[in-house]
Structure 1
């Protein structure tokens, strides 16, 4: 990253400090006081030696110990104040950045998540964001306080003996060149380390989410090897960073010690010729010795600084991502449920062919339509266009004769409920999961009524705390059928006029399917329903069946009409009975 980019990143980060300007300035003032106290030590040392030991002034003998105590009290208090205040600002900035990133994630289009692994976003939200904190604490303290300390000590050395000080100044350009060279490598290694950390999080996320599959298919050795590779990459870049950072300090110190050795030699000659007092010599030497620690910290500050700037770049990449477009301005309090597709075409980014091509379909209010077809025929894509998870490339979709792009996203989606085979529940109570997304305040009676209609109260009553029972992550304490009934209860409570069912019973056993199907029948009553159907029980009850083939509408009709026609639907039906020999078998793989 270029120097201008680094400055722009730092300035942008400081923009997040603006709400905490008063605390920040107070911390910076405390750093200035601390640096002044640090630089005052050699001067106090000179007065102590010359006044107390050389001139044997009794007043100095009484005052110097008190002055020394006072100086270190001021130094200690200022050190505490600037550490606490800047840490407070840093944690607030990290919190604000995490909130900004999380809010942007909530508004990103689904296409973004198709390209970006979930674990990478999690790594940026947790690990990368935390790496920014040292920029405002450790790095800033080092840059401001230690720079002021170095300037103060160098100024004192110039005042004490400018000739000797010039010897020390000769090494500063060399030190600056070393620090600049190291900073470039540190940025590269930090960025690579954070990317590797994202890969490691991704692998761990996949493994933790599939313990059954790994065990049944004997994938433990493979996953262990995969994790070892990404973890080794993290370690490799950490060691590169550590080696570069660790070499930086000794190199800078060695250059400084060469100058120090020359200065000591010439200072000894100056003392012999009475150009320096004993106290002046000790003070000058003490100032040089005190310079080494801040110089070392300044030379090592690149590690935290470059790591933090690399992390900031990845965080701002998420914050700057283009959110889901909501260009609609028209309101639609409650739809009648009339959907119409007019010559709709769509292609996924990077795909070779169209997922949908010229789809025209009219779904009347209250009608139940089943989408049928082989895998990849466009069923899921067509359903995803209705709530504008994706936008069509060609044609348009109308709801109540209004182009959905003219509707506000909130209004459009408020009129749609979704139930899928992959049920998503939250680590909360049963009641909270049912009430999730329901408009306004939801009463206990409304939740119970929805649960009853969804045939969920049958098992909820048997739970330890009933509706107040925590269900674990994604409902792990419930069976598949129980989870599905909760998702149906959630859709019932939303009471949307349009219902999207995405293979809602395909993963259930026969008994669970029977109960869930009854709940679905209750849910469909009085609503426009679009169902991706793989089971004959769902298809047979639909008002119309739409057969998809290679992104096009191949056939439309009732179950009986399509069977009598002897077309694609008839072939799928025959294939189902030949392979499954049961009404509940899957229609398409």
Structure 2
């Protein structure tokens, strides 16, 4: 029996056509006959697969006129179906293919293993047995891969950062505006290096003049050496001016590039999705903005100032040495590589110690930052002494590592001095012998000594510079890595609805969602909800039910994994995110975040360019004007870091004013009163009631007493809607909402006991 695949709402094709599709050709690759005649497929799909109603034997469904090997039209039909296979048909097809895959795996494992006695014979037997199976299953396994690829989530659903590699193209974009200044700096650095190469030769000539005259020829010596000494003094001055010039230019280039890089990196980080920040720590991002940019800037400046200069000096001085005395130059070249190798090994160990020391200092700094940032908690538990001990222990460990690093540096410097002094002594001994044999003059020996010292210093600088360049390239790669990231949800782009046409109707259509950092754990499953315009809809349920996730999807911090969220019938993905968040939706969270500036600027943060009168009006609407004006400086009062100088209720009312100043059509209240005491809750609730008038409001609450007046109460559990109705209707049902009411009534404190601030509930 030939078997064919009947695709709903699409022509029926056989696995011959799938074989042609997988082969990538219209014809010329005939599928084996077994691919169409094997009884395995109808057995699997007819008796075991839940999607068997979509598979039929030949003759029960209309066929498609194609050649036996499939053609381009058939391939397009299959691909079009696979790309559109979602919902019931797509999942049924995947279940069928998954069942087919498991059966094929079991079938393939039945091939006998090759015994060790006759490997060559069993190789032929295995080929004969496995050949037809492999040829018959390849097209179907290819279909499995195609279906799974079509059902895979989009590539941008999770922020992925590949391996860090230095982006030379991006580096060129930052360097290009400074090419003229960089060229001038390079010319000055080369000039300083060439001047430095000439100095040893002039010193040798001066020594020749000194050796030529005795005390009886003082006048002649001064006369003859005056010109050379003046020329040497001029060279020293020129060298100093050139060094000053290229260092100033390099500093200018480096600082401006660092500013440009930090600005570009910060701008790109601000554009990333919320999912990106879920996966990254703030400290890591700040480190890239500060430490990595600084490391790269320092390396760039050193490459030009030290690297270019040292390379030029090594090349020039080696040429001078070979001209002065080839024999001594050969001995110097033979002795230098072992010394450089040992120095490189020791330098690598010292760099590792240096990194460990820096990491330990960072840990000590982290302990201090944590203690000072949580000083209220430390003070509340009288743990000052414990924090002192923790910080002292980290400092002691830092001291030990720093002392170990100091001993290593001292050993390196000591051995370096011994090695260089031995080279000087050897040069003097051998050079003195050559001078005694009149094969070398005293002035040439002096020039050789100075030039060889210049070579040694330059090579030592290059050895140290190599490690710095490696660290700089690594830091630059980390910086450029985040500059090239593209957000899955752009900050802008899309259509905007005129305010007079905006009603504020919100609908969630069969929405499913998993956080990108946890793709295998769905938070919402086929979630459907309608927020009528101008009505208050409350979401209640136990923690972890997905309530805050609903608010995040409405703000379009994330896009649904499946389904769609609409505003007045328009898909949120077609709207401008900046317009949506900046003008349509006002968001008030459980933990309001204030900036360390004035009250005026914190409220104006909701609408840049708002007048003072608009700020005052928003504050009055949020019941914040009275306590603001009670401060000596009024609206110019500094609130401290994260609003540390304000109470919880005051911070919440400022957050309400900040949300209301832009006059949003939709208001999201994410447990806005759950962390407040009863008096603060009453004041804030009154402000929220006034703010909700005439707006579409989504209320997320743990305290069910705050949602009694909502037009609709939606009870959520396990990412789905369980119950919908008013307070009275849900109580009559006696379901989950009634159970939650009963639990909160049992947990409520006795009336005669003063009510303090409630514990903060975890967010959904």
For normalisation by structure 2, the TM-score amounts to 0.70
Q: Is contact 1:248–1:299 with CA below 8 Å preserved after alignment?
A: no
Q: Which of the residues 491, 496, 518 maps onto 2:686?
A: 518
Larger mean CA deviation between 294-303 and 429-438 belongs to 294-303
Partner Cα separation in structure 2 for residue 6 and residue 251 of structure 1: 37
Secondary structure of the residue that 2:588 maps to in structure 1? strand
Unaligned runs of 5+ in 1: none
Change (3 A) 1:587 1:94: closer
Q: Is contact 2:295–2:475 with CA below 8 Å preserved after alignment?
A: yes
Unaligned runs of 5+ in 2: 1-162, 214-219
Larger mean CA deviation between 396-405 and 56-65 belongs to 56-65
Q: Which of the residues 293, 298, 314 maps onto 2:457?
A: 293
Q: Is contact 2:299–2:469 with CA below 8 Å preserved after alignment?
A: yes
Confirm or deny that 1:37 pairs with 2:195. Answer: yes
Change (3 A) 1:202 1:124: farther
Aligned to 1:28: 186
Change (3 A) 1:238 1:51: same
Partner Cα separation in structure 2 for residue 129 and residue 233 of structure 1: 28
Partner Cα separation in structure 1 for residue 168 and residue 496 of structure 2: 45
Aligned to 1:481: 649
Partner Cα separation in structure 2 for residue 169 and residue 186 of structure 1: 26
Confirm or deny that 1:343 pairs with 2:510. Answer: yes
Aligned-pair distance for 1:207? 3.5
Aligned to 2:726: 558
Per-residue deviation, residues 225-276 of structure 1 (Å, max 9, x unmatched): 7666776787787778777776666666666555544433332222122222
Q: Which of the residues 266, 271, 296 maps onto 1:132?
A: 296
For normalisation by structure 1, the TM-score amounts to 0.89
Aligned-pair distance for 1:567? 0.5
Partner Cα separation in structure 1 for residue 263 and residue 407 of structure 2: 34
Partner Cα separation in structure 1 for residue 668 and residue 614 of structure 2: 22
Change (3 A) 1:586 1:92: closer
Q: Which of the residues 286, 308, 317 maps onto 1:153?
A: 317
Aligned-pair distance for 1:24? 2.0
Q: Which of the residues 425, 430, 433 maps onto 2:594?
A: 425
Largest Rg, 1 or 2: 2
Partner Cα separation in structure 2 for residue 263 and residue 14 of structure 1: 46
Aligned-pair distance for 1:152? 1.9
Aligned ranges 1:314-329 → 2 under 5 Å: 314-326=478-490, 329=493
Change (3 A) 1:588 1:299: closer
Change (3 A) 1:540 1:11: closer
Aligned-pair distance for 1:353? 2.7
Aligned to 1:472: 640
Change (3 A) 1:135 1:46: same
Change (3 A) 1:512 1:361: same
Q: Is contact 1:576–1:586 with CA below 8 Å preserved after alignment?
A: no
Partner Cα separation in structure 2 for residue 63 and residue 153 of structure 1: 24
Aligned ranges 1:379-458 → 2 under 5 Å: 379-414=547-582, 415-438=584-607, 441-458=609-626
Secondary structure of the residue that 1:541 maps to in structure 2? coil
Q: Is contact 2:170–2:480 with CA below 8 Å preserved after alignment?
A: no
Per-residue deviation, residues 307-329 of structure 1 (Å, max 9, x unmatched): 33333333334334443422985
Aligned to 1:94: 258
Larger mean CA deviation between 49-58 and 468-477 belongs to 49-58
Q: Is contact 1:182–1:248 with CA below 8 Å preserved after alignment?
A: yes
Secondary structure of the residue that 1:276 maps to in structure 2? coil
Partner Cα separation in structure 2 for residue 129 and residue 230 of structure 1: 27
Q: Which of the residues 272, 275, 286 maps onto 1:108?
A: 272
Aligned-pair distance for 1:446? 1.1
Aligned to 1:282: 446
Partner Cα separation in structure 2 for residue 468 and residue 586 of structure 1: 32
Aligned-pair distance for 1:501? 0.7
Partner Cα separation in structure 2 for residue 112 and residue 208 of structure 1: 28
Aligned-pair distance for 1:559? 1.1
Secondary structure of the residue that 1:337 maps to in structure 2? coil
Aligned-pair distance for 1:68? 2.4
Change (3 A) 1:416 1:233: farther
Aligned-pair distance for 1:379? 0.6
The alignment yields a C-alpha RMSD, in angstroms, of: 3.2
Q: Which of the residues 482, 486, 495 maps onto 1:331?
A: 495
How many residues matched? 584
Per-residue deviation, residues 128-172 of structure 1 (Å, max 9, x unmatched): 322223212234322111221222222211122222212222245
Per-residue deviation, residues 7-50 of structure 1 (Å, max 9, x unmatched): 94678646533222222222222211221222221111122222
Partner Cα separation in structure 2 for residue 478 and residue 410 of structure 1: 30
- Between 1 and 2, higher relative CO (CA 8 Å, sep ≥ 6) is seen in 1
Aligned-pair distance for 1:374? 0.7
Change (3 A) 1:267 1:134: same
Aligned to 2:61: none
Q: Which of the residues 731, 738, 752 maps onto 1:570?
A: 738
Q: Is contact 1:131–1:311 with CA below 8 Å preserved after alignment?
A: yes
Confirm or deny that 1:76 pairs with 2:240. Answer: yes
Aligned-pair distance for 1:548? 0.9
